Every structure is written in structure tokens, then in C-alpha cells.
Amino acid sequence: MNASLLRDIERIFGPRGYLHRPGDLALYEYDGSQEKARPDLVVFPRSTSDVAGVVRLARAYDLPIVGRGAGTGLSGGAIAREGGIMVCFARMNRILEIDLANERAVVEPGLVNLDLSVAVQPFGYFYAPDPSSQRACTIGGNVAENAGGPHTLAYGVTTNHTLGLEAVLPDGSIVQTGSSDRYDLTGLLTGSEGTMALITKIVVRLVRQPEAVKTILAIYERTEDAGDTVTEITTRAITPVALEMLDGVMLRMVEEATHAGYPMDAAAVLLIELEGLREQVEEQTEQIRDACLSCRAREFRVARSAEERDLLWKGRKNAFGAIGRVSPTYYVQDGVVPRTRIAETLRHIGTVGRDCGLTISNIFHAGDGNMHPIILFNARVPGEFQKAVRAGEDILRYCVSVGGSITGEHGVGMEKISLMSDLFSRESLDMMRKLKEMFDPDRRFNPGKMLPTGKGCLEIRQRPLQGRETVM
């Protein structure tokens, strides 16, 4: 480690504001994806000026720089692929302002997602984007990945609730974006995965709590019938706030772990939530009942209390943790298909699982076609990890072939770079490259992410990566 750099870092952050010993850095060499790479240094800023200072140092020493929230991302976005300096926002975790008159709040990037809703709940408000990891993930990380969640169907993803940003650019300058921008810089930076700027402040939209909520569990003997129900609900012009699907493999894992009340013998369930005025919710509940039964649902349950509703959502939100009771490792994917193609995509996923000899379970945001096939494998069995990766790529390519996308909310990161050319033309990728270079001409911000490498695209230096034994 460069002694001069360490002196400069300590001048900004103090002796307890950074890590550089190998044993400490090992904690920051991975996120929730299947790869790992170790940073050379981790810093913990407490202010925007701290972030600007370390960005200027990284530029002076020609080092890569990577932002990190809670490290819950699933595509390698928070991995220091080329080493360098990692900026961990764990200490920038305050709510700076709650402005109920204008239904907004100003927060720092390290604030845990759920903490904002808890803070505004007594006033009758909540923060709508709710990733399944909302008890751990940070709003800054959500902005970087443009995260979604179960309630995306009605409320939209993070960009729909981000009103403005404060960000540090690769030259160390500090900029603000907002709704008055002629060019939508807020929208451009939301979902850019830390490749253009480091976000240091976020202005978010707050939403009023609804008058009435109904949570429904529809139970099916066939997975295809659950998929057809999604299309039927859409055809009837009903928009639930959430429309989630779990297949039989997943719901049995979830029920054994959480005892949420899911049927152990079903092929699939739909978890449906309605919100709004009381009369409207009651009417839509009956419309949803008719749609489910017309698609051969064997049972239609409506949660009878807030406790029962919370238990059903506990099962959904803790699904990934439940997998650990069954499989030592798993690989989760994130593709999108049109809602009308869900049933056939599920059939294709089943074929992929049989062909590769691996169990694939499904839990996903059915309302917007955001598929999350989870491929179970044992990393200690030679070749199984490679089979899981090939299966995931096959599924994503199928999603593209039916008019979908390679990611809905997990981002591209490192994981899906090779698939970007399946989704975008060379001309489109070149346009993205030019945008990246406008912000980061030296290519130091989160290098090796999002854009394909190789001739005609971004050329980057790459350190060899190692697959991890445990995939989360």
C-alpha cells in the first residue's frame, strides 16, 4: 500500500475512518453475486466533502473507485473488480429532512430502506420502493441499481420516487439534480450503477398510506394456471399493488422455514395485494376472485387480519433465507418477460432445469413479468456451478427472445455484461459508452460494470476473478 496515499486518506478520514489490512478488506470483496475481488482500501465518509476528497485522491493516484451500500446487490455492482478504493456509505445514514407538506424526504445514501418508512409511518406516509432485502439494503444502493420490489406493479421502481440527487463526479466536483432539469439527469444517474457518479444525497417521494388493504392468496394445482391468471387480471384492467408468484418448490421451502400459511401440496400460489378506498378494494377483491377461479384456482383466501397479512408477506420477504435450509448454494437470476409470456417462460425454465440436472425454483414479481428463477446447486460438486451459470444465461436469452430483458431490478453489474449485446445493438452500446465517457473519461468509476468489454466497446484492465463457494 502506498504510504503517501495512506497519509492522505488519514488526513481526510482520521485513523478510524478507513481499512487497509487484508483481513479487514476480506469483508468487502463480495456482494450478493457469485464473484469476488478485493479492494485495496475501504473508506467510510461521513459527509459529501469526505466523498469529494477521496474522489480527488483517487484521481491524483489514478486509482479505480467503487461505491458500496449494504452489499446486498446480486449482480456484482459493489465488487472492486480492479481493486482501488471502495467508498462505503454505512456512516452516511441519516434522514436529513422530512417535508410532509411537499410529501418528500431528503436522505443520505447509507440509510436502510425500511428505516425511512418506519420514520414516516406515524404521520400516515411510507416510502414505496420495497426490495425483498429492504430490512438491509440502502436507498443509495437502490438508486444505483434502480431497485424495484413486490409493489412495483402499482408504484413503480426507485426512479419513479427519486426527485433529486446530490452527486460527486469523477473530477471531485459536486452537482445537484432535480425536477427542473431540462435534461433528466436524475433519471440518467438512477440505475447507472455507480459508473458515472457517487450519490451523496437523495430527495425521495413519500406516499400516503391507503385507507384499505386486502392481501389475497390464490392456490393452484398447475403452475401454468397461475401464469394465466396474471394475464386474465391484466385483461380485466385491474392493477393490484402487488402480484407475486411462488412455485411449489419455493413455497414448500418458505413454509418449512416461516410457517406463513402457504399450502405444502400446491403447484403454485399467487400473493396479491390491493390498496385504495375501502369500497374500491372490496369491489376489486371480488373481481380478482372471479379471475382466479376462472383460471382454475383451487382456493382463494383473503387475509382476515393485519397479523395474517404480515405473516404472508413475511414468507415472501424471507424466501431467500429459507433456501439455505435446502441447498448449500444457489444462483438467482433476474429477467423480464411480457406478462402474456409468463406461462411459457415457466415451461422453458422447467426444461432448462431438467436438461442441466438442477432444481430451479421460481419466485417473482408476476405483475410486471420480472422473473427470478433460483437455481439450486452444490458448489463442492465439480462442474455444478458452471452448469448453474449456463442455465441462468439460457433463461435470460429466452427472456430476450420473447420481447423481454436481461434485468428488471438487480442491474447488469459484472454478471450480465456478456448478455448486453443480446439485448442492445452495437450502436446503442456505443451511445452508452459515450455517455459513460462524458462523465468519466478516465474510466475509473466502477470499471468493468454494465458495458461489454472488448473491441469496439469499453476496454478495461481486469484482474482475474474467483467464484465464491456460497452464492447468496
Nearest one of 340, 336, 443, 442 to 395, comparing CA atoms: 336
Q: Would 419 be classed as within a structural domain?
A: no
Single residue among 358, 381, 411 that ends a domain in this structure: 411
* One domain for residues 344 and 298: no
We report the CATH number of the domain holding residue 242 as 3.30.70.2190
> For residue 228, which amino acid is it?
D
Residue by residue, pLDDT tens for the chain (472 residues) are: 789 999 999 999 999 999 999 999 999 999 988 889 999 999 999 999 999 999 999 999 999 999 999 999 999 999 999 999 999 999 999 999 999 999 999 999 999 999 999 999 999 999 999 999 999 999 999 999 999 999 999 999 999 999 999 999 999 999 999 977 788 999 999 999 999 999 999 999 999 999 999 999 999 999 999 999 999 998 999 999 999 999 999 999 999 998 999 999 999 999 999 999 999 999 999 999 999 999 999 999 999 999 999 999 999 988 888 898 889 899 999 999 999 999 899 999 999 999 999 999 999 999 999 999 999 999 999 999 999 999 999 999 999 999 999 999 999 999 999 999 999 999 999 999 999 999 999 999 999 999 987 543 333 333 334 443 333 3
Q: Would 160 be classed as within a structural domain?
A: yes
* One domain for residues 204 and 221: no
Write phi, then psi, for 466 (nearest 5 degrees): -120, 135
Q: Output the nine-digit C-alpha cell for 58.
A: 483517487
Q: Would 27 be classed as within a structural domain?
A: no
We report the CATH number of the domain holding residue 346 as 3.30.70.2740
* One domain for residues 273 and 194: no
Q: Residue 174: which domain range?
A: 95-208
Q: Would 42 be classed as within a structural domain?
A: no
* One domain for residues 164 and 224: no
Q: Would 302 be classed as within a structural domain?
A: yes
- Total domains in the chain come to 3
* One domain for residues 267 and 338: no
Express each pLDDT in 437-469 by its tens digit.
999 999 999 999 999 875 433 333 333 344 433
CA atoms 38, 40, 44, 50: torsion sign: negative
* One domain for residues 166 and 215: no
Q: Would 368 be classed as within a structural domain?
A: yes
* One domain for residues 125 and 163: yes
* One domain for residues 244 and 318: yes
- Cα–Cα dist 358/316, whole Å: 23
Nearest one of 40, 5, 12 to 26, comparing CA atoms: 40
Terminal CA-CA length for the chain: 31
Residue located via cell numbers 455492482: 77
Express each pLDDT in 39-76 by its tens digit.
999 999 999 999 999 999 999 999 999 999 999 999 99
Nearest one of 61, 49, 151 to 92, comparing CA atoms: 49
* One domain for residues 176 and 100: yes
Q: Are strands 85-88 and 65-68 parallel, antiparallel or unpaired?
A: parallel
Single residue among 144, 173, 208 that ends a domain in this structure: 208
CA atoms 443, 449, 450, 455: torsion sign: positive
- Cα–Cα dist 363/254, whole Å: 10
- Cα–Cα dist 182/217, whole Å: 45
pTM over 0.75: yes
- Cα–Cα dist 56/470, whole Å: 36
**Could you tell me if 331 and 374 are in contact, meaning their C-beta atoms sit under 8 angstroms apart?**
yes
- Cα–Cα dist 152/428, whole Å: 27
Residue located via cell numbers 449485446: 421
Q: Would 259 be classed as within a structural domain?
A: yes
Nearest one of 104, 147, 109 to 129, comparing CA atoms: 147
Single residue among 299, 323, 347 that ends a domain in this structure: 323
Measured CA distances, 250 to 86, 274, 346, 444 (Å): 35, 23, 13, 40
Q: Output the nine-digit C-alpha cell for 256.
A: 418449512
Q: Report which secondary-structure segment, H or E, holds 364.
A: strand 360-365
We report the CATH number of the domain holding residue 104 as 3.30.465.10
CA dihedral 127, 132, 133, 137 (to 10 degrees): -40
* One domain for residues 192 and 227: no
* One domain for residues 346 and 360: yes
* One domain for residues 196 and 223: no
- Report the alpha-carbon angle 182-157-335, nearest 5: 115
Q: Is 447 helix (H, G, I), strand (E, B) or coil?
A: coil
- Cα–Cα dist 149/130, whole Å: 5
Q: Would 235 be classed as within a structural domain?
A: yes
- Cα–Cα dist 88/26, whole Å: 14
